[in-house]
Every structure is written in C-alpha cells, then in structure tokens.
Amino acid sequence: MSQILTKFISNAQAAEKRLAELRSMFEDVKKIKVEEKIRILTEENKVLRSKIETAKTELIRLEVSHGKKQYQIPNKVSVVPSVIAEVPTPPKVENEPVEKKEKDGAKKAKPKASESAVESIVDVRKLDLRIGKIVDVNKHADADSLYVEKIDVGETNPRTIVSGLVNHVPIEEMQGRMVMVLCNLKPVKMRGVTSEGMVMCASTPDKVEVLIPPAGAVPGDLVSCEGYPREPEPIMNPKKKIFETCAPDLKTNEEKVACYKNSPLIVPDKGPVVASTLKGAPVK
C-alpha cells in the first residue's frame, strides 16, 4: 500500500513539474508573438509615415504648379523653448515710455519664435530631390563642356537643365537616362540658356558619375532621407545658401549609396540612389 502511495505522489509531482514547464513554454511563445506583432506594426507605421510625407510633398508640388502660393506652417520643434530661454528678460523700468504705434494705430508685428526656429533649420529636408528622365540632350551651342537636357520630372512639361558633363559622360549615355534632379534651385542663365535644376552626380577630382535611381523609379518620384521629413521650399532663396550648407554632408558611403549625414537618399518602397563605382565621394 505504501509503495502505491509513494508512486502516486511521485507521479503527481512529475505531472506538476511538467505543467510548470508547459506554462513557461506558453508564456515564452506568447511573448514572442507579442514582440513579433509589435515589430510588424512598427515597420508598417514607418512605411505609412513615408507614404504620408510623399503624398504631402506631391500635393504641395501640384498646388505650386497650378499657381497656389504656399505658406510655411511652423512645426512643433524642440528647439523653441531653448531659443526663447536664451533671450534675457529686460529689467522693469519705472515710467517706461509706452511703445509707439504706427499711424494706423496698429503695433508692429513681432516675429514669432516658433517661426524663426523652423526657418532656421537648414538641412536636406529643404532640397526638392526628384527622379527624372532625360528625354532630349544636345551640346550647348556656345559652350563645349555643357549639355542642354530636357528632363521629365513628372510635371506638365520637361525642364531645361544645363550640365557640365560633356567631358565625363558620352552623349549617347545621357539620352533616355534616369537621373536624380535637384528641382528647387533658382533658375539661372548659363551661356544664354536658362537652367531649371541640377543633375546630381558623385564626383572626385578625377571622375564624375551620374547617380543611378533604383529599379522601378519613374519620373516625378520623390527622393526622401530617413530622419529628415521633406519640407522643400518651391524655390530656394540663394541668399540662404541652403544647398551650400547641405553639400558637405552629401556623400556616397562604402556601399556607394548617396547619403546625407550617413542617412541614405531613397525612393520610398523602391530603394536607394547609388553611384556606379565611387565610394565616399561628394554628391553635387
């Protein structure tokens, strides 16, 4: 009888131990499923954010192309409090004169700190980089080193762009080529021809390579940079030197991917923009 009882107790203990192991395995499986769901949702959220930014920029581009003026709306920027904090409060003076008003009785409008903070941000988000296709190219009539290209960047009419690439890329390799274009430079005349943008290249003192968009890219595709949501101005003010400020941080990495501060320039859902062979080369 005692042997039967001992065996019963032993079996009960073994069953309890097995149940504890099964509970532990169940908790581990549940945790893994939760973590996997979080990872999937995080990735989906990232893709949705990218699509929203792309749609917003495309809407702005279409409005600008139809003559609708754009106004910069201040974002919630974390630097605003520090900007405000740096401005000392003037000491209170007794009998301080009342601020003079304009003739119409209205006080002069003071610039808002948040607007100043937003406009002071100068980085790749201000560059309107798009994918284009060269639909026609000829040598400049008055400059042996310049091409005059007609480039489709997804607008009603192709843009005329002048590029100093004659000594670096044969004309037959330019015709029909997909390229990345900086579209919000102020139009400028180059030997009598107005250029409306810039074909982006990787370059060294010895070599220049036109950057290559990802497979599947089409004219008008917007180029983004992770961590820098697109906020391009319709036309950059040359006095602000926006591109000149960004240029030192535009380079290809060791994988030949065009980057801004090591963040790849990409066409969302299609891939990065790359150079043929140049690594660590300035992009301009």
Helix intervals (H) in the chain: 2-65, 79-85, 113-119, 171-174, 242-246
**Which pLDDT tens digits describe the chain residue by residue (284 residues)?**
666 767 767 777 777 777 877 877 777 777 787 777 788 888 787 777 777 877 777 777 666 666 565 555 544 444 434 343 444 444 554 554 544 444 444 455 555 544 444 456 788 999 999 999 999 999 999 988 999 999 999 999 999 999 999 999 999 999 999 999 999 999 999 989 999 999 999 999 999 999 999 999 999 999 999 889 999 989 999 998 999 999 999 999 999 999 999 999 999 999 999 999 999 999 99
**Which pLDDT score, from 0 to 100, does residue 70 have?**
57
- Per the CB < 8 A criterion, the answer to whether 58 and 88 are in contact is no
Cβ proximity of 171 and 129 under 8 Å: no
Half-sphere exposure of 68 (CA within 13 A, CB side): 8
Q: Where are the domains of the chain?
A: 1-68, 124-272
Q: What is the pLDDT of residue 112?
A: 52
The pLDDT assigned to 122 comes to 85
CATH H-level, domain 124-272: superfamily: Nucleic acid-binding proteins (2.40.50.140)
Is this structure's pTM higher than 0.85? no
> 101: Cβ–Cβ under 8 A, 6 or more apart, which residues?
107
Alpha carbons 253 and 201: distance in angstroms, whole number: 14
* Residue 45 phi, psi (nearest 5): -65, -40
What local confidence, expressed as pLDDT, does residue 115 receive?
45
Task: Give residue 19's pLDDT.
Answer: 80
